[in-house]
């Protein structure tokens, strides 16, 4: 069977460099390009890339995906910074290239995907839910894409269940002390040397709390998810948001 022809964008970055090694080590894949900032995107076409793994920056990702979709190259995207407007723009590009697939995963690690699922299930059963994400201090965006998605899933689950608004008597204090408000869920971002990527979902009810915590200790934690995404995206046209859809978690 022929190997999947894969390229990595952001190949010199923290996760991109790990992805280059993972693709090289995968028996069913061939690394055909490893591009960094300033390299020509036409190289992807010349190299015959079937799938691009996009691990750059929120400022670069839209331009890169526009190129890939216009050239019918599937994409597996880990880069953060997704808004409804950006997703709508990407869907418009995909409508003109209906056989192309794009997977955007806020987090490729199985533990983080399960954290999001568990939080979504638990959220309606507790009065209070807050998200704390903790990352290395070189991260450019806050809150993390994972925390934003987690809060959105929690908020949607609570809305579906008809949950009451969360109790919070705060009327005075410093700006930012209660975190960012994502669909009514407070999200707190810690940046600390020594950390990589961590998240806690804190749930509280009468006389009890539940804490769901996940820790990515090395960038290798994201690689099985990226490789799964590469294998699945070639037969999944259109936009898929979240690795859970390729894990059959719903
Ligand atoms: N989804 C996940 O599981 C996951 C996991 C880790 C990181 N991330 C995300 O991936 C992104 C990268 O994270 P990082 O820690 O590796 O950052 P990084 O700064 O170490 O790497 C980004 C790399 O992209 C390069 N780059 C920028 N613009 C480019 C362009 N137009 N073309 C090619 N390369 C370009 C930069 O020069 C840099 O080398 C961030 O958005 C981060 O949040 C996602
Ligand atoms: O290191 C990062 O940057 C990470 N970004 C993603 C996010 O913002 O959720 C995933 C975890 C690591």
Residues with CB under 6 A from ligand 1: 9-10, 12-16, 35-37, 55-57, 60, 64, 78-80, 105-108, 145, 222
* d(C-alpha 245, C-alpha 116), whole Å: 13
- Residue 250 above 70 pLDDT? no
Q: Per residue in 58-87, pLDDT tens?
A: 999 999 999 999 999 999 999 999 999 999
Q: What is the pLDDT of residue 248?
A: 77
Active site residues: 135, 139
Q: What is the pLDDT of residue 174?
A: 97
- pTM to 2 decimal places: 0.97
Q: What is the pLDDT of residue 157?
A: 98
Q: What is the pLDDT of residue 102?
A: 98
Confidence tier at 187 by pLDDT (50, 70, 90): very high
> Around 132, how many Cα atoms within 13 Å sit in the side-chain half-sphere?
13
What is the CA(168)–ligand 2 centre distance, in A? 29
Q: Supply the ipTM of this predicted assembly.
A: 0.99
Q: Per residue in 208-248, pLDDT tens?
A: 999 999 999 999 999 999 999 999 999 999 999 999 999 97
* Nearest ligand to the C-alpha atom of residue 199: 2
Q: Which of 13, 18, 80 to mutate to test the pocket of ligand 2 (most atoms within 8 A of CB)?
A: 80
Whose Cα sits closest to atom 12 in ligand 2?
197
Residue pair 215/228 in contact (Cβ under 8 Å)? The answer is: no
Q: What is the pLDDT of residue 249?
A: 77
Whose Cα sits closest to atom 3 in ligand 1?
107
* d(C-alpha 149, C-alpha 144), whole Å: 9
């Amino acid at each position: 069977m022929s190997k999947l022809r894969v390229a990595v964008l952001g190949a010199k970055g923290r996760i991109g460099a790990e992805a280059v090694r993972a693709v090289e080590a995968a028996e069913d894949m061939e690394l055909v390009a490893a591009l960094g900032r300033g390299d020509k995107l036409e190289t992807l076409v010349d190299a015959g890339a079937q799938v691009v793994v996009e691990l750059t920056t929120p400022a670069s990702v839209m331009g890169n995906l526009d190129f890939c979709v216009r050239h019918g190259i599937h994409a597996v995207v880990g880069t953060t910074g997704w808004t409804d407007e950006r997703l709508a723009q990407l869907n418009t590009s995909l409508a003109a290239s209906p056989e192309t697939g794009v997977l955007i995963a806020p987090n490729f690690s199985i533990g983080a995907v399960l954290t999001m699922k568990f939080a979504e299930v638990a959220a309606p059963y507790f009065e209070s839910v807050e998200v704390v994400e903790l990352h290395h201090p070189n991260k450019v965006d806050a809150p993390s894409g994972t925390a934003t998605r987690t809060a959105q899933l929690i908020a949607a689950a609570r809305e579906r269940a008809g949950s009451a608004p969360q109790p919070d008597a705060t009327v005075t204090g410093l700006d930012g002390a209660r975190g960012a408000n994502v669909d009514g869920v407070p999200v707190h971002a810690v940046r600390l040397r020594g950390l990589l990527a961590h998240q806690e979902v804190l749930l509280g009810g009468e006389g009890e709390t539940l804490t769901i915590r996940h820790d990515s200790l090395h960038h290798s934690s994201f690689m099985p998810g990226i490789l799964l995404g590469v294998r699945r995206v070639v037969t999944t046209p259109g936009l898929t948001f979240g690795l859970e859809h390729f894990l059959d978690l719903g």
